[in-house]
Amino acid sequence: MVKRFIKYYKNHMGLFILDLFCAFGIAALDLVFPMITRRVMYDIESGIDITYIRTLGIFTAILIGLYVVKYIFNYIVNYWGHVVGVRMQYDMRKDVFKHLQTLPVKYFDDNKTGQIMSRIVNDLMQVSELAHHGPEDLFISLVMFIGSFILLCTINVKLTLIVFAFLPVLLYFAAKKRVKMAKAFKEVRKKIANVNAQLENSIAGVRVSKSFTNEEYEVEKFSEGNEKFKNARTYAYKYMAEFASGVRFITDVLNVVVIFAGGIFLIRREINVADLATYLIFIGLFMQPIRRLTGFVEQYQSGMAGFERFIELMDIEPEVKDRDDSVELENVVGDIEFKNVSFQYDDNKSILSDLSLNIKHGETLAMVGPSGGGKTTICQLLPRFYEINKGDITVDNVNIHDVKLKSLRQNIGVVQQDVFLFTGTIKENILYGRPDATDEEIIQAAKKANIHEFIMTLNEGYNTYVGERGVKLSGGQKQRISIARVFLKNPPILILDEATSALDNESEAIIQKSLEELSKGRTAIIVAHRLSTIKNADNIIVITSEGIEEKGNHEELMSKEGIYTRLYNAQFKGFIPDEI
């Protein structure tokens, strides 16, 4: 783990070493002040006259010079140290996002968006803090403690040992408090997130709660989260107070130890006043390394935990890796075959078993049947969003397992029920189909999808923003943009999974026309709700959770007077059932 962490320093070694060098300098320079003060006190004790002003001037000049150097060091640590962290975090975020893009669809089924986001944003923030503050803090505090130990030993070994015997014990307790405080603040952040989520949910659902007159219930639910948030913060401040006053207490105790033990040594004439004063100045300096060292303990814990979660994500196997002998699908004609395919999402529930079907190039296969029967699943297996457990799927008689994933997916266009448009302009969204398309091609695609005229009525035309802060489009308009995308991609194989189910009749009629246009000359798999739209399909299969129940074209299926006939008649008479 630590090794993989260190790997990220590699590209920033120069800056990192500079950072550590300056951290070392800061700590070393801090030790100079008490030593010069001691020297001055010595001189004063041994008797001085007016000419001493000159010496004093020299010391002052030296100190100012050193502090200017320290100022520069501090600047470098504060700025460039953070830059190291920022750049390392950038590298990690880049790596993890790239990796995320390769993960199988299954990963996104199993993990919530919020969790994935917090790994990439919050966790890495902690990691980058540790990346530079960790070594800096460790370095500065160690140099200060070891340096002061050595310097103080040259003054009086016994007193130094007494002071440093106390220090580890006190540090241990301070570190414990600090970790507790950090945990408490983490809890606060969690509770804030809950309050936010609850707030968002309640506001979004305000019409529902009003219509059910459940306002009071909402208030109660909210006050529960609100109270937890309050309690979490109260706790956090308790630990913060314990920690902050604890650190102060440590240095106070050390001062008392020095005064008491040093006083005894003074009486015994084992130490002089100037040396005792030097001790007290050193103790005053300890506050900073104590804070840094305890901070390091906390940072190490949360930073490493964040890095562990990062590594966990990085170690998830990417979806299907192309093999060296994977072939490029070229000049696809569009013959598709499923041979004895079995599939399950999870270990315990079989979704498809021993399913076979066959679609000749240029033909249309329609799938109908009750929801949950597995139609969408079949649609997702062809572009290899999931791996089948048994059987083969072939395109142009090539097993999709032996094909480069990218070339497989480039030959398949999908239109789904829930359209997703990216935040951006309409043009960008259509271009998603083929990023190197020309403006003229985009317009042609939009025309074929029957959306060009609508786009032209918008003030900014193709440059109109869609998405959260952009214009609000109707379901039908969004669907037509997504169809334009597929027109632009121009794939030989087409999958339409309930592309019109979410639309009102009028939009459906318009979109139906563009879908028919889109299907021309392509191999198409169509899942349809409304059976009137698939009457002309070359083949129709009725799929239930039992598998393929009926198969044939419209006339054949009607003459069977089975499930299809029942479905068709029900719709024809004006009922449009979801289920059989």
Nearest CA to 108 out of 420, 342, 367, 368 is that of 420
From the list Mg ion, ligand ADP, none, which binds 345 (C-beta under 5 to 8 Å, kind-based)?
Answer: ligand ADP
336-343 and 493-497 strand pairing: unpaired
Q: Is 410 in the site for ligand ADP (CB under 6 A)?
A: no
Instruction: Please give the DSSP secondary-structure letter assigned to residue 123.
Output: I
Span interacting with ligand ADP, options 308-316, 321-329, 370-378, 551-559, rule CB under 6 A? 370-378
Q: Which of 62-65's residues contact partners 24+ apart within 8 Å by CB, and which partners? A: 62/36, 63/32, 63/33, 63/36
**Min separation Cβ 386 and ligand ADP, Å:** 8
Q: Is 376 in the site for Mg ion (CB under 5 A)?
A: yes
Residue 393 phi/psi, 5-degree rounding, is -120, 130
**Min separation Cβ 356 and ligand ADP, Å:** 17
| 104-123: contacts with ligand ADP (CB under 6 A) | 109
Span interacting with ligand ADP, options 90-98, 143-151, 188-196, 371-379, rule CB under 6 A? 371-379
Span interacting with ligand ADP, options 241-249, 270-278, 372-380, 480-488, rule CB under 6 A? 372-380
Report the residue number, 376 or 450, with the smaller CB distance to Mg ion.
Answer: 376
From the list Mg ion, ligand ADP, none, which binds 114 (C-beta under 5 to 8 Å, kind-based)?
Answer: none
Report the residue number, 281 or 502, with the smaller CB distance to ligand ADP.
Answer: 502
Residue 41 vs residues 51, 56, 265: alpha-carbon distances, Å: 16, 11, 18
Span interacting with ligand ADP, options 281-289, 303-311, 373-381, 415-423, rule CB under 6 A? 373-381
From the list ligand ADP, Mg ion, none, which binds 374 (C-beta under 5 to 8 Å, kind-based)?
Answer: ligand ADP
| 350-369: contacts with ligand ADP (CB under 6 A) | 351
Q: Does residue 473 contact residue 458 with C-beta atoms inside 8 Å?
A: no
Q: Is 383 in the site for ligand ADP (CB under 6 A)?
A: no
Q: Is 416 in the site for ligand ADP (CB under 6 A)?
A: no
Span interacting with Mg ion, options 133-141, 345-353, 375-383, 535-543, rule CB under 5 A? 375-383
Q: Is 67 in the site for ligand ADP (CB under 6 A)?
A: no
Q: Does residue 451 contact residue 480 with C-beta atoms inside 8 Å?
A: yes
Quick one: which of 191, 375, 384, 480 contacts ligand ADP (CB under 6 A)? 375
Q: Is 529 in the site for ligand ADP (CB under 6 A)?
A: no
Report the residue number, 356 or 474, with the smaller CB distance to ligand ADP.
Answer: 356
Quick one: which of 141, 156, 377, 500 contacts ligand ADP (CB under 6 A)? 377
In the numeric block, which tokens belong to residue 205? 């659902």
Instruction: Please give the DSSP secondary-structure letter assigned to residue 540.
Output: E
Q: Is 380 in the site for Mg ion (CB under 5 A)?
A: no
Q: Does residue 276 contact residue 262 with C-beta atoms inside 8 Å?
A: yes
Can you give the three-state secondary structure of 376-440, one letter per residue? Answer: HHHHHHCCCCCCCCEEEEEECCEEHHHECHHHHHHCEEEECCCCCCCCEEHHHHHHCCCCCCCHH
Can you give the three-state secondary structure of 60-99, one letter per residue? Answer: HHHHHHHHHHHHHHHHHHHHHHHHHHHHHHHHHHHHHHHH
Quick one: which of 372, 461, 521, 577 contacts ligand ADP (CB under 6 A)? 372
Q: Is 371 in the site for ligand ADP (CB under 6 A)?
A: yes
Q: Does residue 254 contact residue 286 with C-beta atoms inside 8 Å?
A: yes
Q: Is 387 in the site for ligand ADP (CB under 6 A)?
A: no
Residue type at 130? L
Quick one: which of 262, 306, 374, 492 contacts ligand ADP (CB under 6 A)? 374
Q: At what angle do helices 475-489 and 439-448 cross, to 10 degrees?
A: 130
Q: x/- string (CB under 6 A) for ligand ADP, residues 332-351?
A: -------------xx----x
Q: Tell me the site size for Mg ion, rule CB under 5 A.
A: 1
Q: Which residue number places its CB atom closest to Mg ion? A: 376
Q: Phi/psi zone of residue 374: left (φ > 0), alpha (ψ -120 to 50 degrees), beta?
A: left
**Min separation Cβ 355 and ligand ADP, Å:** 12
d(CA 310, CA 127) in angstroms, rounded, equals: 9
Give the residue ranges of DSSP H helices in 468-572.
475-489, 505-519, 554-560, 563-572
Report the residue number, 385 or 465, with the smaller CB distance to ligand ADP.
Answer: 385
Residues facing 367 on adjacent strands: 527, 541
Q: Is 251 in the site for Mg ion (CB under 5 A)?
A: no
Q: Which stretches of the chain bind ligand ADP, using CB under 6 A?
A: 109, 345-346, 351, 371-377
Q: Which stretches of the chain bind Mg ion, using CB under 5 A?
A: 376
